[in-house]
C-alpha cells in the first residue's frame, strides 16, 4: 500500500464547535471540549471551521480560539486550524498566524463566493503552500463554496510539498477515487455518513461533526475497518448513519450539533446570526434521535 502524505492525520479528527455564552466565546467550555476529546483518544482537533462558526467570529476571536485549543491540547492531539478565506492574502495571514501559535496543520476551504477558475484555485493554494511551513488540507465543499475544485486540480496541488490532505465533502466517490488513484494525498471524509464508504476506497479517516458528541463510536468505526472486520464496520456504519443524517438534515451545520450538545449538557446551544435555533418540532425530533441512539434516557424526552 502506497505511503501517503498526511497519513499522520489518519483516524478521527473532530471539527469542534465554538461555545458561546451570552454572545461571547466561552473559553472555559472550549477547554472542556478539548479535555473531552483528549480523553476519548481523538487524533486531531479542527477548531474554527464550519462547525466552529468561523464566518461570524472576529479576527481576534478566531486567533484566540486557535491559541486556546493548542494550549489546552498540550500536545495530546494534533491541531488542524481552520484558516481559509476567499481572499488569498487573508488566508495567508491567518495560516501563518496559526503556524506561529503552534497549529500542526491548516484546513483551508476553497475560496467561496468569488468562484475562481480551476487555475485560480491552483494559484490560491500554491501561494499558501509556498509561504507557509505547516501541512495544508484542501477543504473541498462545493455545496458551501458554490464551485467544485476538480480532481485534476487537486491532484496537481498534491505535487506541492506542503499540500498533504484533502477534506472530501463533495459526496462523490468517483472524485475521491480519482484523487486517490492519481496522487499521494491523504483523503479524509468531510461527511460523517461517508466515512466508511470513503475508507473502503482508500480514505484514511474523517473530519467529523458528530464526533463532538460520540468520539468513541467514530474511533471504533475507523479502527474496526482498519483491523479488517468489514462486517462489523458495516454494522457500526448503519448504527451511526441515522444520527449522522439527522444532524445533517434537521438544519444547517452547526445548528443541530450545538442543539444536541445542549441537550446532553455540554453546551449552551447558542449560535450567532444569521444562524437561528431549531424549532420546537425539530428539537423533539433530535431528542428522539438521541434517545434511540442511547445518548439520552427516554424519561428526558
Q: What is the mean pLDDT of the chain?
A: 96
pLDDT at position 124: 98
Cell of 37: 476529546
**Domain ranges for the chain:** 7-227
| 212-266 per-position pLDDT tens digit | 999 999 999 999 999 999 999 999 999 999 899 888 899 999 999 999 999 999 9
Confidence of residue 1 (pLDDT cuts 50, 70, 90): low
User: How far is it, in rounded angstroms, from Cα 288 to Cα 202?
Assistant: 34
Q: Are 195 and 208 in contact (CB under 8 A)?
A: yes
Q: Are 204 and 10 in contact (CB under 8 A)?
A: yes
pLDDT at position 248: 85
**Is pLDDT at 284 greater than 70 in this prediction?**
yes
Confidence of residue 299 (pLDDT cuts 50, 70, 90): low
20 beta partners: 25
pLDDT at position 3: 80
- Non-local (6+) Cβ contacts of 203 within 8 A are 168, 176, 180, 187, 188, 189, 195
pTM: 0.96
**Is pLDDT at 300 greater than 90 in this prediction?**
no
- Non-local (6+) Cβ contacts of 301 within 8 A are 284, 287, 288, 291
User: How far is it, in rounded angstroms, from Cα 45 to Cα 260?
Assistant: 19
Total number of residues shown for the chain = 301
| 193-202 per-position pLDDT tens digit | 999 999 999 9
Q: What is the mean pLDDT of residues 124-141?
A: 97
DSSP assignment of 99-141 = HHHT-SEEEEEPPPSS---HHHHHHHHHHHHHH--S-EEEEE-
Cell of 134: 505547516
Confidence of residue 205 (pLDDT cuts 50, 70, 90): very high
Q: Are 188 and 203 in contact (CB under 8 A)?
A: yes
The CATH number of domain 7-227 is 3.40.50.720: no
Confidence of residue 123 (pLDDT cuts 50, 70, 90): very high
| 74-103 per-position pLDDT tens digit | 999 999 999 999 999 999 999 999 999 999
Catalytic positions, written as ranges: 139, 167
pLDDT at position 301: 45
Confidence of residue 60 (pLDDT cuts 50, 70, 90): very high
User: How far is it, in rounded angstroms, from Cα 152 to Cα 145?
Assistant: 18
Amino acid at each position: 500500500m502506497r505511503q501517503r502524505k498526511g497519513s499522520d492525520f489518519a483516524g478521527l479528527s473532530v471539527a469542534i464547535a465554538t461555545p458561546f455564552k451570552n454572545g461571547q466565546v466561552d473559553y472555559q467550555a472550549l477547554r472542556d471540549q478539548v479535555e473531552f476529546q483528549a480523553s476519548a483518544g481523538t487524533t486531531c482537533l479542527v477548531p474554527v471551521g464550519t462547525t466552529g462558526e468561523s464566518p461570524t467570529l472576529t479576527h481576534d476571536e478566531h486567533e484566540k480560539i486557535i491559541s486556546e485549543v493548542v494550549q489546552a491540547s498540550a500536545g495530546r492531539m494534533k491541531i488542524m486550524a481552520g484558516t481559509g478565506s476567499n481572499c488569498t492574502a487573508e488566508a495567508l495571514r491567518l495560516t501563518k498566524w496559526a503556524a506561529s501559535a503552534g497549529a500542526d496543520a491548516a484546513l483551508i476551504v476553497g475560496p467561496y463566493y468569488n468562484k475562481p477558475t480551476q487555475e485560480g484555485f491552483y494559484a490560491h493554494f500554491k501561494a499558501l503552500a509556498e509561504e507557509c511551513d505547516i501541512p495544508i488540507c484542501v477543504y473541498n465543499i462545493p455545496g458551501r463554496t458554490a464551485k467544485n475544485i476538480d480532481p485534476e486540480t487537486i491532484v496537481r496541488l498534491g505535487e506541492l510539498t506542503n499540500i498533504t490532505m484533502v477534506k472530501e465533502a463533495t459526496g462523490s466517490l468517483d472524485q475521491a477515487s480519482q484523487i486517490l488513484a492519481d496522487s499521494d494525498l491523504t483523503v479524509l471524509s468531510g461527511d460523517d455518513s461517508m466515512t466508511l464508504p470513503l475508507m473502503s476506497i482508500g480514505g484514511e479517516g474523517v473530519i467529523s461533526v458528530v464526533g463532538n458528541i460520540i468520539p468513541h463510536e467514530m474511533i471504533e468505526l475507523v479502527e474496526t475497518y482498519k483491523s479488517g472486520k468489514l462486517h462489523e464496520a458495516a454494522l457500526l456504519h448503519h448504527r451511526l448513519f441515522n444520527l449522522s443524517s439527522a444532524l445533517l438534515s434537521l438544519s444547517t451545520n452547526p445548528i443541530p450539533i450545538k442543539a444536541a450538545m445542549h441537550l446532553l449538557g455540554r453546551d449552551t446551544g447558542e449560535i450567532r446570526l444569521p444562524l437561528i435555533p431549531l424549532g420546537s418540532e425539530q428539537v423533539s425530533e433530535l431528542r428522539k434521535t438521541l434517545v434511540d441512539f442511547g445518548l439520552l434516557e427516554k424519561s428526558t424526552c
